[in-house]
Every structure is written in C-alpha cells, then in structure tokens.
Structure 1
C-alpha cells in the first residue's frame, strides 16, 4: 500500500471508480485531513501529455469554483505518470449508499436534495463549468444533512476534443451511462445534459432505482435515446403531479425540451422543498450603517460594519448582509478587486442560505457586475447582466426596482466608447 504522494501522507483508501482512486490523506504543511483523487492513466501512450495538459487546465478551472455545495480544491498536479487532485475531505455517506439502505426517500427529502444539487449546477453553469458525471455516488450527504457535489472537472478533463482519441476505457464516453443524457452519449455535452442526469437522480430518489437499468452499454444508450421513461406512479404512488411533471421534463430526450436552466429547476423544486427560512434582518444597526454608506461615507460605514461583524449573536443572514456592506465600502474606497472577491464569496453562501431568487442574491449579482465594469472587465460584466436581467424580470412585484435595472446598465455599456 502506498503511503505518500509528494508532501501528502496517504492513510487509507476511501473508494474507487472508473476514473480513479480516492485516498484519505494528511497534509502536514497545513495540518489538515484532505482527500486525494488519483487518476491512473493506463494504455494512453503518446496521448498522456495531452491528457495531462487538459487535466491540469480543468483542475485550475474547477479550483476557482466557490460554493458551499462544492468541496474546495486545494492542489493538483502530476507525479510519476499519475494525475492527482487534492481537495476538501467531505465526511458523510454517498447518496447511492443512502438509497441502497433506505430505498425511495420521502418527497420532501428527495426534492430538498435535488434542489441543492440544482443550486450547485446553477452556480457552476454560470461559471462555464458542466459537471458531465452527475450521479448518486458523486453526491455526499454530510452528518449535518448538507449535500456536496463531487468530481467537478474530472469528466471534462477526460472528454476528447474533435479529432482526438478518447482517453477513457474502451474509448467510452466520459460519464456513467445509467445517468447519461442521450446527446452526451454521442459526444455532445451541454449544461442541459447535467439537468438530464439530475432527472435520473431525482427519479431514483423517488422510485428507489434509476429510470433505465437493464442491459449492456449500448442497450442503455438506446433506452435513454429512444425509450419512454417508465412512469413514476407505477413505482412510487403519491408523488405530487407537479413533481412528476418536472421529472418528466428533466428526462426529455432533446436538450431544448428540458427546463431552461438549473436555476429554474431550483426555483420549481421549492414547491416541495422550501429553503430553510432565513432569519429576518432584525439587527437594528444594519439599516443605520447602510444609510451611512449610501450617504457617501464609506470609510466610517466600513468601521461600523467591522464592529458589527465582531459582535456576538449576529444571525446568518445578517452576517451575509454585513459582509456585502463591507465589500461595497471597499469598492467605494477604490479597493475594487478586494470587493469583487468578497462579493463572489458571499454570493455562493447567499444562494445556499436564501435561495437563488432571493432579492439579496439578485442585488449581490448586480453589484458584482457594477464592480466588473469599474475594473474594466466590461465583457464579463455584460455576460452577468444578461443572465441577471432575465431573473430580475421574474420578480413577483411589478413595481420592484430591480426590474429593468440590469437591462438599463447594459444599454449604458453599449453607449460607452470602446477603449
């Protein structure tokens, strides 16, 4: 049994699959336990250097993802022909083990798991990252009941570009066929492919098994592409009609017939798995400090926010609101990059706590776009504003001031001279 990989002391194997082996390890430099995923390329020959370059590129991309539902990536590299990722070690049980032990879950619990996964996908898709291998064994349930989505970027690293040899065993398409979208099986992967996989997972959460399980690889490919999905009601009576309709929509054969985005799926699932009620912003000082900041006094407001964050007893939603205020003060004082980094971190936590449609989440997304404009990153700002504009139009109140603000800023950007 191997005991080390560079500075990491491997202690015991946590699991293995088609893409590699995961070890529990200790990082002596930081004194923390980590998980090390080894991808062991066999038989790739001259293609190994191409695989290594792609793997390292994807690892760098996914290491930038920051969301409570995605384990943090600490390190990556290659040694002696082996590629590895070092990431946060997530305690708990994989969802496939939960299903094996418990069978179909209660509707509310199944919808809650799926809603969390949809929120993670919405964030990742917004960063240009598609998972490609969503399945129960890649979903961890922590002892606190949180859901973590594992293995972002791994399948993407192994997926060939046009004209290249496939790197997976027997030239198979990266992914897991039981949960694979029809278009992915023929080499085309889009964000909606993750939604199909989520539909397979949600179906299994409710029915106790995936929609298609019989036969070999090519039979499963054929079933996903051509066969009607076995009706849920025949396997799990009592699933609400609206939830059944959502599962059917996720499992549409054509990507364009599925829901429009993971954020939309997340919002729809709220009917059966409402987000935990966040504490109202009840701290009396928040409104006072906000008024001070808006009146053009960011420096004293920043000190007030810091004092508030250091005080005990602040609720989770209040903490996030104070952190947003702190970042906006930094931005007003010219520390644009620091403000952007903090708002991006806060946004991930707000989405998890409040839900993607919460007004505070929309406000933070807007402020990030404004800061990007100030930083001269107009293209990135415009991309975010276009996505945000559609979400703002769904605000329930017709007189909500958020309606139309992103489109107005986009028009202003269009009129600004190019530099």
Structure 2
C-alpha cells in the first residue's frame, strides 16, 4: 500500500531488519527516486526523545560524508513519531543475497570487494566516523561492480553515550552480533572495530559462512571474545597463505593487535584484488616508498620521498614521480589544498617531459580530480574527469581505461 511521509511518497518496500525498514520513495519536491530508511522506534516509549536527539545528531554528521562508496544523504528528521533518513537510491544487490545465491566467491573478487570497503572505511575513519555495523546486508554491489557501504550513523544513533539508556542490547539482532567486534559487546567502539567486522565479512566471502554462527546472541558474544577463529583452510583449500594471515589479523581479539588502519588493509588487499592502475618507476626506491605510503604511513613516506629527491643524479621523470607521491602523502595527512596546488604545478612539467599521453600524466590528472572532489570543487572535478575519460578511452589495454568514467557516474549519483 502506498503512503506518504511528508514530501516523500513511499512506493515499494526494499528490505527490513532489526533497525528499521527501507522503502523506495518518490521525492515530489526534487522529482527523483530515493531510498527512505524508517527507524523502528516502537517500544522505546518515553525514551524516544533521547533516541530522536541522538539519531538527528548522527544523521547530521554522516550527511557530511562525501565518498563514491557511500550513498549521499539528502534529508533526515522525524514525522508523526517516526525517524527517517533519506538517501541516494543505489541499484544493485546486497552482498548477503549474492552470498546466498553464489556461495563463496573467487579470491580476487572477494579481495576486491573487501578492498573497496576498506577504502570507504579509510575515508570515514579519517573524518572521525566509525560505522559500527558492517555486515553483508549493509554492502551493496551495483550492476557496474562498485561496492557501496550503507547505513553509516544508524548504529551510532542507537548506541548510547555514557549515562544514556542502551536501546539495542536487550534485543540485539543475531545477524549483527555475527559480525560484531568483541569490544563492542562491552560498550567500546573504535575504528579497529570496523576492521574486525570487515574480517568477518571477508572470512564469509572466502569460506561461505562467517567465523562464528551458532547459538544465541550471548553465545556469539562469548565466541567472538574468547574462542579461536576456525581456520579458513578447514572450509576451503587453496586460499593464499598471505590472505589467510590478513583475515586472522583482522579477527584478532584485541583491537591493538589488528592492522593499524583501514588504509593499510586496503594496501595489503591489493596483492589479491583485481589489478589496479599502477605507475611504473625506473628507480626502485620509488616503488618501495610508495608501498610504505599505501601501508598507512604517509608521514614516514613523505620523509623518504624528500630524501630521494635530494639525491644527485635522480632522473627527471623519477624526480617528478617522487614529487607526485610526496603530494599524495601531504593529501593523506590532511593537507588537501597544499597537495592539490602541488599536483597542478607538477602536471605542466610532466606534460613537457613525458608527453600528454603518458600514463603518469593521466594518473596525476586523476589525482587532481579526486582532490577537487575532496575540496568541494565538484564542477571543476567533473569537467576535468570528462576530458580525462576521453583520453583514457584511447589507451587500449591500459587498466586506467574507464576509471574516470566510473568516478563520473558516482559523482552524478551523489549530486
């Protein structure tokens, strides 16, 4: 049955879970289809005011997130006692549905999905936001193969601050507990909690089931906190040893024993994920330092790039490559405007030395577009990406081909 929520006409239920119901809806004011998440406040009675205040606070925070792997948040509020969140409508299939229909995924596909999620987490953690409820039903794979992370802020809205009433513990959904880090069960949530949940998801992508599945929510809490993780090899032979070690590292009981950051996880997964664009360097130190940057140590990498650029006899192309990488380090350290200005300065020299069609020039142009998005200069980013997409399409056989077109589509969805 159709119903209205203010200006939103709810047309089709898309799914439901322990935290609420998601509808496809028509936004009459904007003339577009959107997704509307209704939180399930029934049973909270007098506590609803506290829940509403916290939900609106978290919605304001997460609406500032701007990443191609996070659906844009358009609106939020309450209507006749119902809390709602209005988001970009993402086409595709939830990862839990894919697992149900296809079972364990090929290693490269599983690693690629996990790498995309790690990229989103690296961005969100950099903004001071932890997801808190990462699981396959919150991960959407679009028809183009892109991965979108849903429901940022919803779990946080239901998680109390000290002295507030806990809304979720009494009737926690087992589907969530299956992927929950041990420290979350005792009220402590840190960025590494998301990495534990990502480890559970990656385990399931490779094995066909999560590491712990049996029993009540209480027993699941106990297993996450105390029992060793069943070896992946017991579910499926042939998984690369390094990938097994990464999953085991993500599933360490102590948050401090897990990988240092989502950025590091993203870099480590690149070994097994589908090949990404990479710049070939003549100087071996450039490749080594770049690996350091991608492992989540941009400050140390920046120092080493500066030392390398001071060496006599460094080739011009490698010197420019080091400057580009040093600028990316600055961007990773939060100095976005400085990084953007430096890349623009380098680009003219690269074109002169290497030629406009060189892969390094294409990479620098792409990084400039990404930084323009981060600084809020969306129009300039779109114009640059349109021109770059045309140039990339001429590079037959180059893994960069189509990269800018994908980012353009994501920006269009976020508009």
Worse-superposed segment, 172-181 or 103-112: 172-181
Give secondary structure in 2 for the equivalent of 1:179. coil
1:318-351: CA deviations, max 9, x gaps?
A: 76356479x6xxxxxxxxxx993228996xx99x
Q: Which residue of 1 aligns with 2:124?
A: 124
1:350-369 maps to which residues of 2 (within 5 A)?
none
The yes-or-no answer on 1:320 pairing with 2:366 is yes
1:340 is the counterpart of 2:386: no
Judge conservation of contact 2:2–2:9 (CA < 8 Å) in 1: no
d(CA) in 2 for partners of 1:276, 1:114: 14
CA 1:242–1:11 in structure 2 vs 1: closer, same or farther (change >3 Å)? same
Contact 1:132–1:175 (8 Å) recurs in 2? no
The verdict on how the C-alpha distance between 1:11 and 1:245 changes in structure 2, with shifts beyond 3 A counting, is: same
SS of the counterpart of 1:176? helix
What is the root-mean-square deviation in Å for CA atoms of aligned residues?
Answer: 3.2
Indicate the residue corresponding to 2:399 in structure 1. Answer: none
Q: Secondary structure in 1 aligned to 2:170? A: helix
In structure 2, C-alpha distance between the alignment counterparts of 1:116 and 1:234, rounded to whole Å: 26
2:59/2:153 contact within 8 Å kept: yes
- How far 1:275 sits from its partner (Å)? 5.0
Distance 1:153 1:339, change over 3 A: closer
On the 8 A contact 1:324/1:343 being kept in 2, the answer is no
| Rounded Cα–Cα distance in structure 2 between residues aligned with 1:173 and 1:254 | 23
CA contact (8 A) 1:73 1:86 kept: yes
C-alpha separation in 2, matches of 1:166 and 1:51: 10
Q: How far apart are the structure 1 equivalents of 2:246 and 2:5?
A: 45
Counterpart Cα distance in 2 of 1:121 and 1:215: 29
Q: What runs of 5+ residues in structure 1 fail to find an aligned partner?
A: 281-286, 296-300, 302-314, 328-337, 354-419
Q: Give the match for residue 140 of structure 1.
A: 140
Q: How far is the alpha carbon of 1:231 from its aligned partner?
A: 0.5
- Per-residue deviation, 1:31: 1.5
Q: CA deviation at 1:17?
A: 0.2
Asked whether the 8 Å contact 1:108–1:273 carries over to 2, the reply is yes
Q: Deviations over 1:162-195 (max 9, x none)?
A: 1211123725499810000000011111100000
Distance 2:204 2:175 in 1: 17
Contact 2:131 2:153 survives alignment (8 Å): yes
- 1:99-114 alignment runs, 5 A limit: 99-114=99-114
Q: Does structure 2 conserve the Cα–Cα contact (< 8 Å) formed by 1:155 and 1:175?
A: no
Q: Is the 8 A contact 1:132 1:155 kept in 2?
A: yes
Which residue number corresponds to residue 266 of structure 2? Answer: 266
Aligned equivalents of 1:7, 1:80: Cα separation in 2: 13
> For 1:212 and 1:292, how far apart are their aligned partners in 2?
47
Whole-angstrom distance in 1 between the partners of 2:222 and 2:100: 26
What is the aligned partner in structure 2 of residue 180 from structure 1? 180
Counterpart contact for 2:59–2:76, Cα < 8 Å = yes
Structure 2 gap segments, 5+ residues each: 281-323, 325-340, 349-360, 390-415
Q: Give TM-score, length-normalised by structure 2.
A: 0.70
Match of 1:298 in 2: none
Quote how far apart the aligned CAs of 1:240 are. 0.3
1:9, 1:213 → 2: CA distance? 38
Partner Cα separation in structure 1 for residue 255 and residue 225 of structure 2: 11
User: TM-score normalized by structure 1?
Assistant: 0.69
* Distance in 2, Cα, partners of 1:120 & 1:344: 22
**1:204 matched residue in structure 2:** 204
CA deviation profile, 1:379-408 (whole Å, cap 9, x unmatched): xxxxxxxxxxxxxxxxxxxxxxxxxxxxxx
Q: Aligned-pair distance for 1:30? A: 1.6
Could you report, residue by residue, the CA deviation over 1:276-308 in whole angstroms, capped at 9, with x for unpaired residues? 32799xxxxxx9xx999749xxxxx9xxxxxxx
1:172-226 Cα deviation digits (max 9, x unpaired): 4998100000000111111000000000000000000000001111111110001
Q: Report SS of the residue matched to 1:277.
A: coil
Deviations 1:2-47 (A, max 9, x none): 4111001110100000000000011122211100000020121221
> Could you list the runs of 4 or more consecutive aligned residues of structure 1 that deviate by over 6 angstroms after TM superposition?
290-293, 343-346
* Mapped pair 1:246 → 2:281: no
